[in-house]
Structures are given as structure tokens and as C-alpha cells.
Amino acid sequence: MTDRFVAAIDQGTTSSRCIIFDGSSHILAVDQREHRQIFPRPGWVEHDAAQIWARVQEVVAGALGKAGLKPSDLAAVGITNQRETTVLWDRATGRPVHHALVWQDTRTEALCAELAGDQGRDRFADRTGLPLASYFSGPKIRWLLDHVPGVRERAERGELLFGTMDTWVIWNLTGGAVHVTDVTNASRTMLMDLRTLDWDDGILADFGIPRSLLPEIRSSAEVYGTGRGVLEGVPIAAALGDQQAALFGQTCFSVGDAKSTYGTGSFLLLNTGKEPVRSHHGLITTIGYQLGGEAPVYALEGSIANTGSLTQWLRDRIGLITTAAEIETLALSVEDNGGLYLVPAFSGLFAPHWRPDARGVIVGLTGFAGKGHLARCVLEATAFQTRDVVDAMVLDSGVELKALKVDGGMTANNLLMQTIADMLDAPVTRPFVSETTCLGAAHAAGLVAGVWPDLDALRAEWRRAAEWTPRLDDRVRDRMLRKYRKAVELAKGWIDEDDLEVEGR
């Protein structure tokens, strides 16, 4: 290998991190800083982009200091980021015109319904792979143009720039010299054609967005420019949205390779190869990565709203446990779920159902049920939801899942990982390096810089830390899945017009 080092900047939803790796993919140093979460109204979520840029500079300097390195010791830096979060700024001054609208923000829901019209939420799905939803960047841009005084006029005069957080960070790292995004982040805007890898002029016209706002779309791994200031002279050589970076960090380079990141929610991505696979079963078609001038690699993605947040709910709202780790011990105090099934549709069901009218239910209650059974059914809900997404992926792609690579904080729960393996009837593996998002960004940048020669070298460095293989009887699995699916049907349609009035929507 090499003694050269690669940095990864992870601009996340709640914090920014910088991790420095050596040429053997070992972590040398980590620095992390949180930024402010801004909630102006129910359902509105904003970030201060200027504060985020300040935090990025702090974590880069902090990681370099901890590692005892100078910027000149770095072969390259890769960027990974929270996706869809949208910022507009003045191209001359670099000042944002408004707080960034975060991917979680739902203020554009009415706009999405208006844009859908008679053609429905899949109006642009053939080109973008995405349903019309407040999740994505395009509607957020339109909202800023329509609601912030003077912004549309300034945008039409060419005075403003748009970016997701990769674009914002790269623009600032290069002193305003480079305005780019990569294909993975562009594929989350609803404005890019998945086949041409360019902004779609028809969609831009429908959204009322000037093309001059938009960054140049580039591959996920190439030199975009060189850093100034805190990363003076360092090649900025990769950018990937966070879940795609985890796919790359997990070395999911072959068709059928899949990874799932288990955090507050969960994101499961399946490599589908060189052609986009249109989903007809509630998934998102997206780009997994593109290396330089090579053809892009596509993926199917399923997002699950509530997984780790269920444990937080059991701890903070129900008071059944005092630490997240206690849920495993409590769940192991019983042999099974005691007949309890939980559907955690706290804010509706995400993939593959997409039912905003659903709400959470617990079914199967008897006098026998106790707190151990509740803890167990909370964990099983994550496994059932994972199986739902995997089933949809198999239906869409025709590719059977042979194994699932996992990462994220919930993978420390061995019972949960075993339950997922049991429900999938497939092995579940956890890597030795758990920071797969940063690792993916570092690996992509390191390929460009020659720190690693090719994908085979990255595969060789991937190490398995733990593996769980299925051990549940087929009949038991089938019965549990059947019961869970009955519970899902009970959760649907719970919200009606009276409830919407109560919730102030």
C-alpha cells in the first residue's frame, strides 16, 4: 500500500465530521462538530449553511491536528453529505439568501400535489426515478424562489447559485472557484435525467427553475478542483451522497450487492448495474456511483422512517429502558414476541408502502404480554420493514438477495442483526470499519489519487467483523411475516380529514 493519507468530509444532518484514513483504510483521526437544528414551524426543518461551512473548517483542522498532519500530507479529500438539503447563495458574496431547507422539511407537500396534477406523483418518474415528494431538492428550490422576497428576480439575473451540501462545501473549499455536484446528489434533485446525466430542461420549465442556478454535474470520482485555506492545495477528488457513499464503502460493486444503514431511520440500497431499474413496487431509482468517465452504476433504494427511533421512543417516551443498549437484554428475557406485532408508522409508512395516512399500531395484545415481549416486537419491526423493502427490490430487479451488508449504530445489537438474518433468510454481515460513509468517500477520492489502484484492491481491504446466518424454521418465519402484514393493513387509512384538521395541516 502507501503511506499517503486521504481525508473524508461527512457533512451530515446533525453534524459535520472529518476522518483521515491511511493507505490501508485504517482510521488515523476523527473530528466532529454539531450544528444547529432550526424548526420555524411544525414540519419545517432548516440549517444555517454559513454555520455548517464554519463547522466543516473546524473539523478538518481538528482532524489534521489530531493526526499530526499538514494539508500537504493528504493525497486527496472526498466529500459525502446529507442529500436533498437545499441552499441558495449569492455567487458574488457567498452569502446564503435563506436558511437551507433540510431533506426532512415537508413545507413543499402542497406544491408537490399541485405539480402532480392529473398525471399523479409519478409524473417525472420515467426520467428521474423519483416520485413527486417534499423529500427532494427540486420542490425546495421552487419554494425558495416563490417565497423569499427578491430571490426569483436575482436568480433569473444569474446572481444566485443552488447546491446540495456537497456543492456548498466544494464551492467554499475552492474559494468559490468550482460550482459542481456529482451524479448521486444530482439524482436526488428531481431535476436530472437518469440516462443523460444532465439537467432536464422540460422539468426545469415545469418547476420554473432557471438553469443558471444549477451546478455542473460531474462523476463521483474525479478532481473537481484544489482546496484553499484549510485544505490548501489538496485535490478535491470525490463526492457522493451519504447512502451512496456507504454503498461504495461496503464494496457493493457487483449487481445484487446490497447494504443497509441502520440509524434513526434506515436506507437499503441494491446495486442494479449499468441500467436504471424503474421501480413499480414503492422504491426509488437512483445512481449508486460513477467513476470518472465510466458508465454510471445504478441502484434501487428503500427508505424506512422509523428503526433506531423506535428504541429512542421506548426509552424517552415509554420509559421502559434507560439506555438504548438495554433493549437487547430486555428482549432476550423472553423466548419470542408473545404474539405482539408493532407497525411503527409514526408519521406514515415509507417504502415500499408510501401511505401518509397510516399510523402506528400494536396488535396481538393479551394478558400474557409483558415488557420483554414489547421490547422484542420493537426490534422485530425493523427486521419486518427490511424484509418488505427487500421483497420489493426482488420484484423490481429480479435479483435475489444473497447477503446483506449492514452498518450504522443499530448493528451493535446482535439480537436485531440475527432477527434480520432470520427474516431475510440470508446472511447479514457487519464490516470491521463501521464508518462506511466516510470510508466510501475516502476510497473514491483515493482511487483518483492512486492511493488504491482499483476496485479489487478495495474489495481486498474490506474485512468482516461479524456475520449472522438464518436459523429460523421456515414455517415460523412465514407465520410471523403473515401476521406482520396483517398488522400493516390495520395501520393503513387511520388518518382522515378530521385528523388533518387537528394536526393543523
Does residue 258 form part of some domain? no
Task: Please check whether residues 249 and 335 belong to one and the same domain.
Answer: no
Task: Please check whether residues 79 and 139 belong to one and the same domain.
Answer: yes
Q: Residue 379 belongs to what domain range?
A: 303-404+469-499
Q: Does the annotation place 469 within a ligand binding site?
A: no
Residue 471 pLDDT more than 90? yes
Does residue 426 form part of some domain? no
Task: Please check whether residues 107 and 42 belong to one and the same domain.
Answer: yes
| Joined grid coordinates for residue 453 | 489502484
Task: Please check whether residues 318 and 364 belong to one and the same domain.
Answer: yes
Q: Does the annotation place 14 within a ligand binding site?
A: yes
Q: What is the count of structural domains for the chain?
A: 2
Q: Choose among 305, 303, 484, 479: nearest CA to 380.
A: 484
Q: What is the CATH number of the domain that holds 15?
A: 3.30.420.40
Average pLDDT over residues 326-346: 92
Strand 46-47 and strand 74-81: the pairing is: unpaired
pLDDT digits (tens, 9 = 90+) for 214-261: 999 999 999 999 999 999 999 999 999 999 999 999 999 999 999 999
Task: Please check whether residues 88 and 20 belong to one and the same domain.
Answer: yes
Average pLDDT, the chain: 91
Q: What is the pLDDT of residue 454?
A: 94
pLDDT digits (tens, 9 = 90+) for 91-132: 999 999 999 998 888 888 889 889 988 898 889 999 999 888
Q: Does the annotation place 262 within a ligand binding site?
A: no
Query: What's the CA gap between 86 and 88, in Å, rounded?
Result: 7
Q: Choose among 466, 253, 282: nearest CA to 356.
A: 282
Does residue 264 form part of some domain? no
Q: Does the annotation place 158 within a ligand binding site?
A: no
| Joined grid coordinates for residue 373 | 415481549
Q: Does the annotation place 135 within a ligand binding site?
A: yes
Task: Please check whether residues 391 and 446 belong to one and the same domain.
Answer: no
Task: Please check whether residues 440 and 367 belong to one and the same domain.
Answer: no
Q: What is the pLDDT of residue 503?
A: 43
Task: Please check whether residues 135 and 218 belong to one and the same domain.
Answer: yes
Q: Does the annotation place 83 within a ligand binding site?
A: yes
Does residue 259 form part of some domain? no
pLDDT digits (tens, 9 = 90+) for 384-426: 999 999 999 999 999 888 999 999 888 989 999 999 999 999 9
Task: Please check whether residues 135 and 185 belong to one and the same domain.
Answer: yes
Does residue 504 form part of some domain? no
Does residue 424 form part of some domain? no
Q: Does the annotation place 463 within a ligand binding site?
A: no
E-strand ranges in 349-496 read: 361-363, 404-407, 428-431, 464-468
Asked if 239 and 438 count as a contact pair (C-beta separation under 8 A), the reply is no
Q: What is the pLDDT of residue 110?
A: 85
Task: Please check whether residues 451 and 489 belong to one and the same domain.
Answer: no
Task: Please check whether residues 20 and 52 belong to one and the same domain.
Answer: yes
Task: Please check whether residues 320 and 171 belong to one and the same domain.
Answer: no
Average pLDDT over residues 365-394: 93
Q: Choose among 250, 293, 298, 231: nearest CA to 270.
A: 298
Q: Does the annotation place 407 within a ligand binding site?
A: no
Does residue 17 form part of some domain? yes
pLDDT digits (tens, 9 = 90+) for 488-502: 999 998 877 555 444
Q: Does the annotation place 264 within a ligand binding site?
A: yes
Query: SS3 breakdown of the chain: % helix, strand, coil, rounded to 5?
Result: 40, 25, 40
Residue 343 pLDDT more than 50? yes
CA 225 to mean position of chain CA atoms: 25
Residue 504: pLDDT band (50, 70, 90) is very low
Q: Does the annotation place 341 within a ligand binding site?
A: no
Does residue 425 form part of some domain? no
Asked if 403 and 428 count as a contact pair (C-beta separation under 8 A), the reply is yes
pLDDT digits (tens, 9 = 90+) for 157-216: 999 999 999 999 999 999 999 999 999 999 999 999 999 999 999 999 999 999 999 999
pLDDT digits (tens, 9 = 90+) for 267-283: 999 999 998 998 999 89
Q: Does the annotation place 308 within a ligand binding site?
A: yes
Angle in degrees, CA 243, 174, 91, rounded to 5? 95
Residue 58 pLDDT more than 60? yes
Q: Does the annotation place 84 within a ligand binding site?
A: yes
